[in-house]
């Protein structure tokens, strides 16, 4: 077990005019599960492959514990990888697949068997040890791939979209198993996914990448409540946060027919006469007619306890999509018009030009019993 440190780690592929990963700074604690997330092509796999020693580091350094491994061969880094395409050997049994790396490393047969049996027990694979991979389900094969990594007791686990080949239901089950397993083993884990729900459920912390640049690294709660910019705000959360460019007023922003208050220091920091306001679907509440934004509902998605309404509104002549969570027992009908406004204190404020966060985000009720914006705006 060990820490992992990326120090300004940069990967510039030959012939490309920009870095695939640009000056990545990241410190991962011993035993932590750190998830790298971002859209396709943002540099997740490249970051992981640099750590694995499968990709050269153009600039910067990578450390495992105190040891600089930037120029250390992959096989000498004491890491184990699980890929999306877990490629088990079809002609070998589960036990032989799991023990193969140990055999190559000339671990004696008895110890090999013990370690494989131990991993099989942890992964609930004991009764399948003599089977060939083709006689296993997708989820079981994926667990064999995990087992292959576990038997090596590495310092660090690296996983690159290991669940992508599984169907939706199995993916949810398996991600819960992997999360429980990595915590139980206490092995430092770097886990790559493009799926923000997977990232939020599995990571102790989540690092969000875009275009090779680290945007934010934080706990799932912090990312959700205090995204540092418009990109993270829109990427994290499902359904996504509503992001609207709105005119500022003396005390806040013009949210349709409602003048929504914003803290004075935040207002003072706004450069132009508009600002981007983010409101999560669950933070929009129904307002009386003539208040807030008038939303024409296109689709209603009923989930039992909750319902999501997807509609559109018009702001300064431009059409904007709006998503709101409503009471599942009394959802409005598609085709109808409702009025919504943000719950007081539950807006995120971003600079319209740079996309950077200006306010300090949603606070716990314990932090501030009365929403901060309400106090400041009336002071």
Ligand X SMILES: Nc1ncnc2c1ncn2[C@@H]1O[C@H](COP(=O)(O)OP(=O)(O)O)[C@@H](O)[C@H]1O
Footprint of ligand X (CB under 6 A) = 13, 16, 20, 38, 40-46
The string of DSSP letters for 356-371 reads BB-S-----TTT-SS-
Provide, rounded to whole angstroms, the least separation between the CB of residue 306 and ligand X: 32
Residue 41 binding target from Mg ion, ligand X, none, CB below 5 to 8 Å by type:
ligand X
Q: Restricting to residues 42-101, which ones interact with Mg ion according to CB under 5 A?
A: 45
Q: For residue 290, is the peptide bond before it cis, meaning its omega torsion is within 30 degrees of 0?
A: no
Q: Is 117 buried (19+), middle (13-18) or exposed (0-12) by CB count in 10 A?
A: middle
List the single partner that 378 binds among ligand X, Mg ion, none, CB under 5 to 8 Å by kind.
Answer: none
| Cα distances (Å, whole numbers) of residue 115 to 82, 97, 253 | 18, 13, 62
Distance CA 268, CA 250 (A): 10
What, of Mg ion, ligand X, none, does residue 46 touch, CB below 5 to 8 Å by kind? ligand X
Q: In whole angstroms, give the CA distance from residue 300 to residue 273.
A: 34
Which of ligand X, Mg ion, none lies near 16, with the C-beta cut-off 5 to 8 A by kind?
ligand X
CB of 272 to Mg ion, least distance (A): 37
The Cα–Cα gap between 86 and 89 comes to: 10
Nearer to Mg ion, 41 or 361 (CB): 41
Nearer to ligand X, 81 or 123 (CB): 81
Using rule CB under 5 A, residue 10 touches Mg ion: no
SS3 254: strand
Closest by alpha carbon to 349, among 250, 239, 271? 271
Contact partner, 139, from ligand X, Mg ion, none, Cβ < 5-8 Å per class: none
Ramachandran class of 31: left when φ > 0, alpha when ψ lies in -120 to 50, beta otherwise: left
Taking the C-alpha atoms of residue 159 and residue 181, their distance in angstroms, rounded to an integer, is: 13
CB-nearer residue toward Mg ion: 37 or 377:
37
- The torsion angles phi and psi of 179, rounded to 5 degrees, stand at -60, -45
- Supply the minimum distance, in Å, between the C-beta of residue 49 and Mg ion: 9
Sort strands 4-11 and 274-279 into parallel, antiparallel or unpaired: unpaired
Count residues near Mg ion (CB under 5 A).
1
Residue 42 binds: one of Mg ion, ligand X, none (C-beta under 5 to 8 A by kind)? ligand X
Task: State phi, psi for 183 to the nearest 5 degrees.
Answer: -65, -40
Residue 160 or 283: the one with the smaller Cβ distance to ligand X is 160
For residue 199, the minimal CB distance to ligand X (Å) is: 12
**Minimum CB distance to ligand X, residue 13 (Å):** 3
SS3 70: coil
For ligand X, which is the closer residue by CB, 56 or 356?
Answer: 56
Burial bucket for residue 195 (CB in 10 Å: 0-12, 13-18, 19+):
middle
Nearer to ligand X, 83 or 100 (CB): 83
**Please, which residue, 19 or 145, has the CB nearer to ligand X?**
19
Cα–Cα distance measured from residue 365 to residue 58, given in angstroms and rounded to the nearest whole number = 46
Nearest distance from C-beta of residue 164 to ligand X, angstroms: 11
Minimum CB separation of residue 300 from ligand X in Å reads: 34
Query: How is residue 367 written in tokens?
Result: 């932090």
Q: Closest approach of Cβ 214 to ligand X, in Å?
A: 12
Comparing CB distances to ligand X, the nearer of 38 and 252 is: 38
Minimum CB distance to Mg ion, residue 7 (Å): 22
C-beta closer to ligand X: residue 43 or 331: 43
Residues that bind Mg ion (CB under 5 A): 45
């Amino acid at each position: 077990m060990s820490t992992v440190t990326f120090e300004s780690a940069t990967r510039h592929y030959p012939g490309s005019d920009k870095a695939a990963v640009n000056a990545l700074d990241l410190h991962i604690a011993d035993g932590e599960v750190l998830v790298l997330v971002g859209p396709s092509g943002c540099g997740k796999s490249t970051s992981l492959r640099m750590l694995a020693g499968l990709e050269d580091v153009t600039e910067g350094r990578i450390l495992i514990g105190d040891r600089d491994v930037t120029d250390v061969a992959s096989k000498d880094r004491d890491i184990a990888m699980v890929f999306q395409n877990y490629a088990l050997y079809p002609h070998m049994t589960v036990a032989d697949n799991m023990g193969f790396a140990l055999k190559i490393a000339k671990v004696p047969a008895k110890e090999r068997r013990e370690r494989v049996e131990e991993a099989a027990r942890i992964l609930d694979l004991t009764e399948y040890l003599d089977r060939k991979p083709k006689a296993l389900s997708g989820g079981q094969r994926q667990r064999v791939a995990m087992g292959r990594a576990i038997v090596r007791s590495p310092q660090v686990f690296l996983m690159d979209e290991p669940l992508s080949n599984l169907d939706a239901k199995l993916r949810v089950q398996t991600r819960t198993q992997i999360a429980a397993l990595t915590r139980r083993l206490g092995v430092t884990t770097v886990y790559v996914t493009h799926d923000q729900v997977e990232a939020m459920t599995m990571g102790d912390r989540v690092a969000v990448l875009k275009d090779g640049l680290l945007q934010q690294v934080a706990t799932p709660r912090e990312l959700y409540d205090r995204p540092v910019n418009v990109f993270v705000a829109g990427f994290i959360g499902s359904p996504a946060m509503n992001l609207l460019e709105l005119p500022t007023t003396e005390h806040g922003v013009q949210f349709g027919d409602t003048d929504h208050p914003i803290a004075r220091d935040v207002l003072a920091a706004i450069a132009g006469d508009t600002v981007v306001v983010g409101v999560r679907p669950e933070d929009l509440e129904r307002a009386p007619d003539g208040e807030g934004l008038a939303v024409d509902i296109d689709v209603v998605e009923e989930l039992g306890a909750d319902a999501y309404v997807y509609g559109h509104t018009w702001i300064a002549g431009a059409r904007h999509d709006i998503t709101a969570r409503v009471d599942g027992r009394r959802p409005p009908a598609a085709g109808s018009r409702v009025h919504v406004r943000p719950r007081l204190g539950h807006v995120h404020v971003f600079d319209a030009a740079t996309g950077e966060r200006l306010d300090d985000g949603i606070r716990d009720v314990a932090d501030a019993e009365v929403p901060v914006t309400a106090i400041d705006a009336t002071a």
